[in-house]
Chain A
Amino acid sequence: MTATTRYDAIIVGGGHNGLVCAAYLAGAGRKVLLLERRHLLGGAAVTEEHLAGFKYSACSYVVSLLRPEIIHDLELAKHGLSIIPLACSFTPDLSGPGLVRWPDFARTHDEISRLSRRDADRYPEFGKAMGKMGDFIRPLLMQPAPDPTRLPRRLGESLSLLRRLRKLGPRGLAQFVQLMTQSAVDLLDRWFESDRLKAPMACSGIIGTFLGVRSPTTAYVLLHHYMGEIDGAYRAWGFARGGTGAISEAIASAARARGAEILCEAAVEKITTRRGSARGVVLEDGREFEARVVISACDPRRTFFSFVGRDQLDDDFVAQITRYRYRGSSGKVNLALDRLPDFSCRPGRGLHLQGDIAIAPSIDYLERAYDEAKHGAFSRRPYINLVIPSLTDPTVAPPGKHVMSAFVQYAPYQLAEGPAAWDQQREAFGDTVVETLEEYCPGLKDAILHRQVLTPLDLEREYGLTEGNIFHGELSLEQLLFMRPTMGWARYQTPIQNLWLCASGAHPGGGLMGAPGALCARRLLEEHYL
């Protein structure tokens, strides 16, 4: 088969980042083709219906980091996107009433006071301090990564980074350095005394990493999540109406409206090169397409080792991509429920169920969960981040019924028996999650109509996430900013000419933020590569 049309850009992978990139490029008048392996778009941001009327946000379940400028630029509201903020954060307890943190200051103060008056008074200050750090980091998120290895060319940018660092002041700078290296628990210990408050706060430091709450550098990961913003200001996370897939659908609709061509069930097998320069793709079914640039919206390992081939790359680069860590550590259990579960520590249907619910009763509980994972087993009592979106968005379940989404850590990709053993352990893993939840909401088991269990192996096979890492590579310090994915290639370009990266494996990383997709497009256009 011969290629008939030549595109300006081919994007490999229809995750939200690939779609964002497509929409921006098409919006600038470029001829764009996007190819997605699965039958539906969105990658890790999809809505799936396994039991009629029950819509699971199969993988990603809450949005926070999606950049407001992307929402404006692509007019996503017009394309059907609508995000509903979570009402609060609830940490149930086996003894006592648990803790609910509300957006409303007075109410939160009241709640934390039950644990510690001192912590309650301090809590807003912590928010402010994190806010300051966030202000410092946020502009970095929207700029192509500063690249100190190519200093003279990008001098202005690096200078502005230095200037920003200076603006933090000596104390701020010390705080910043600490933040980048210490553990989430170290950070929180400096501020608070109550274990029951610290435990749920520490969880953001471990999401998507194979680290424990006491492991160094998790403080930064915590900040990374803290920076999630809705409405351009610090806010809680939110649900997308219709499930997370609605985000991808809105972006896809914006991309199509701008003229991008999108093909599903079009799995790319190879990225073809000629004299070290990408020139097109070959699909598994033999179809071929050519373009001036090829942009991979898949993770770095898949891009370079599967699509390009080690033989096309120099040894040093191959070594760096090999070293880049995935180490998936989480799984997902989605439940269709006949009725609303009742938490014994706070019975009844209240606004407290309309936020995220963390099973994180203590720091030790979380650390124990990690210990088991270190030895190649899933946690017997895992950290679970739970949401019941149907309470806020009635479109995802039939009237009176509910869907519950449980994000579970740790579920290490590397089981002691090897990743393939997940096929034997899937149901046991699902049972562990349900049993853990049953302790907090007795009767839950009997309300389950359907259950979907996603192990890290499933995340890899079904959603194309290498080693099941939810962020296309750990969000650890040494894999961020100008080091994501590797030193020297953090600005979306790659050693293969005309091959670019635009997804979570590029700066600024994973999560539903769309920033890598937007920034890659911006660089291509502004610097006239396309």
Chain B
Amino acid sequence: MLLPTPVHSRTFAACRSFRFKDWGGYLAVAAYDPSSEVEYYAVRHGCGLFDVSPLRKYDISGPDAGAFLSYLTVRDVAKLAVGRVSYLCWCNDDGQLIDDGTVTRIDAEHYRLTATLPGLHWVDDRASGFNVTVSDVTDRLVALALQGPQARGLLEQLGELNKLRFFRSRAVRLAGLDCYLTRTGYTGDLGYEIWADAADGPALWDALLAAGAAFGLRPAGLEALDICRIEAGFVLNGIDYRSALQCHTAAQSSTPYECGLGWAVDLEREPFVGQAALRKRRGEERLFGVVADWPAIEALFRLQGLPPTIPSAASREGVPLYDGDGCQIGRVTSRTWSPQLKQYIGIAAAPQAHAVPGTRLQMEFTVEYQRRQVPVTVTELPFFDPPRKRSR
């Protein structure tokens, strides 16, 4: 049985497509309308409201909270000032990636960590010896992501934002409700995540939707989110990499360096989990973007006498990547048609030597059950990074 989120009464009523997904054990809307296109465009042009309550949320408090998080994760979290958010990941002792998420310093001795997959035990087990309390607040909080260029205008109507900057956070009152706001998100656009008491969820949802009419707001589901995050070049745990907790062999795991998260690793400091291993081994692979040659895709459809048709949702089934000699050298783990860029894009991984921008590779592409290949070009991530994301 999938669990309802705090705004289930609202999301369920608004979902006319009856398409839902399992997100970490919670019932999440895949698309509210039969086609998720309107939702995607709302995010890129007006704003979209995502119910991200299924994200795991752990509150970590106590005198050692900063020290503990610095030990648990790859970043020196103790340095993070109050009211700031940091994106990071954590590994096992072998430097294999477990999960990624954000950490927010809400108060001097109070942090909040988000995680994609259930893994409280991992966090809890590392906490022994630190003077901290780790509590899973996933069910106590509602989390709504308001994403898109109009998000700021909408929030300013409901409360005083004081020009909250990128990756900053603060407590606010929105529509008379106590909320905690972070300028973060998973769409690569201007956006905020609103965290509030689960009981206030429905009232918060209603207030946002009522005021949102003037800002092009639409409830948006996971299909739209998936396209946005691929455009933004964000990896997804379970799709673009496998959590070490779920790997059967070492080969299935990745280091942060192999997943494009190397920039977050802060090696030269007090010991942290995985530090020694990461010092020795960065991994052989690299994560990068690929852009497919659209005319080649069109040609594959034409071979079958069909006009090119592309599913409106992103594909999460990995496909092989080949070099010029037809040797399989890597994989494309997430791919989608980008409505914004008018390009077919993917997130891929392969050994360093093939991951040089501009390199031409071949990606498997299936039309009418026929497996073929289309040329792709290696590019840096992200694909889409509008200045408004960071703008003041």
Contact = CB atoms under 8 A, between A and B. Distances in A.
A394 B41 contact: no
B340 A77 contact: yes
B46 interface: yes
A232 B341 contact: no
Interface in A132-156: 135
A442 interface: no
Interface stretch (A79-87, A273-281, A325-333, A423-431): A79-87
A130 to B, nearest CB: 11
Binding site secondary structure of chain A: mixed
Contacts of A103: 35, 37
Interface in A346-365: 349, 351, 354
Interface in A367-419: 391-395, 399-400
Given A104-B34, A107-B34, A394-B216, A232 B41 contact: no
A103 B214 CA distance: 25
A392 B46 contact: yes
Nearest to B33: A351
Contacts of B214: 394, 399-400
Given A85-B41, A393-B46, A233 B309 contact: yes
Nearest to A398: B214
A349 B341 CA distance: 30
A234 B307 contact: yes
Given A232-B294, A394-B214, A84 B45 contact: yes
A392 B41 contact: yes
**Which of B150, B153, B216, B342: most chain A CB closer than 10 A?**
B342
Nearest to B309: A233
B366 interface: no
Given A131-B307, A349-B213, A392-B216, A68 B45 contact: no
A257 B309 CA distance: 33
Contacts of B44: 82, 84, 241
Nearest to A104: B34
A138 to B, nearest CB: 10
B38 A87 contact: yes
Given A72-B294, A82-B45, A393-B216, A231 B337 contact: yes
B346 interface: no
Contact of B343 (A72, A84, A85, A400): A72
B107 interface: no
Contacts of B310: 231, 233
A231 B45 contact: no
B199 to A, nearest CB: 29
B341 A394 contact: no
Given A68-B342, A104-B35, A392-B46, A84 B307 contact: no
B153 A399 contact: yes
**Which of B33, B41, B44, B157: most chain A CB closer than 10 A?**
B41
Interface in B182-212: none
Nearest to A233: B308
A282 interface: no
A241 B45 contact: yes
Contacts of B215: 394, 399
B307 A351 contact: no
B149 interface: yes
A403 to B, nearest CB: 13
B339 interface: yes
A448 interface: no
Contacts of A233: 307-310
Nearest to A234: B307
Nearest to B47: A394
**Which of A69, A232, A351: most chain B CB closer than 10 A?**
A232
A175 B307 CA distance: 20
Contacts, number: 71
Contacts of A232: 294, 298, 308, 342
A283 interface: no
Contacts of B341: 77
B205 to A, nearest CB: 18
Contacts of A400: 213-214
Nearest to B153: A399
Interface string B20-56: 0000000000000111011001001110000000000
Contacts of A107: 34
Contacts of B339: 231
A354 B42 CA distance: 12
B216 A77 contact: no
A71 interface: yes
Contacts of A399: 153, 157, 214-215
Contacts of B295: 69
A395 B148 CA distance: 12
Interface in A75-118: 77, 82, 84-85, 87, 103-104, 106-107
B13 to A, nearest CB: 16
A446 B33 CA distance: 33
Nearest to A236: B37
B211 to A, nearest CB: 9
A513 to B, nearest CB: 14
A236 to B, nearest CB: 10
Contacts of A106: 34
A248 to B, nearest CB: 18
A351 B339 CA distance: 20
Nearest to A232: B308
Contacts of B308: 232-233
A72 B345 CA distance: 13
A68 B298 CA distance: 12
A393 B45 contact: yes
A473 B337 CA distance: 36
Given A82-B340, A399-B157, A399-B214, A68 B294 contact: yes
A517 B45 CA distance: 28
Given A85-B37, A349-B213, A394-B45, 7 more contacts: A71-B342, A72-B343, A84-B44, A103-B37, A106-B34, A232-B298, A399-B215
Task: Name the 7 nearest CB pairs between A and B, nearest first.
Answer: A399-B214, A394-B216, A400-B214, A77-B341, A84-B41, A71-B342, A104-B34
Interface of B: 33-35, 37-38, 41, 44-46, 149-150, 153, 157, 213-216, 294-295, 298, 307-310, 337, 339-343, 384
27 contacts: A68-B342, A77-B340, A84-B41, A84-B44, A84-B45, A85-B41, A103-B35, A103-B37, A104-B34, A107-B34, A135-B307, A232-B294, A232-B298, A233-B308, A233-B309, A233-B310, A241-B44, A351-B33, A391-B216, A392-B41, A393-B45, A394-B153, A394-B214, A394-B215, A394-B216, A399-B153, A399-B157
Interface of A: 68-69, 71-72, 77, 82, 84-85, 87, 103-104, 106-107, 131, 135, 231-234, 241, 349, 351, 354, 391-395, 399-400
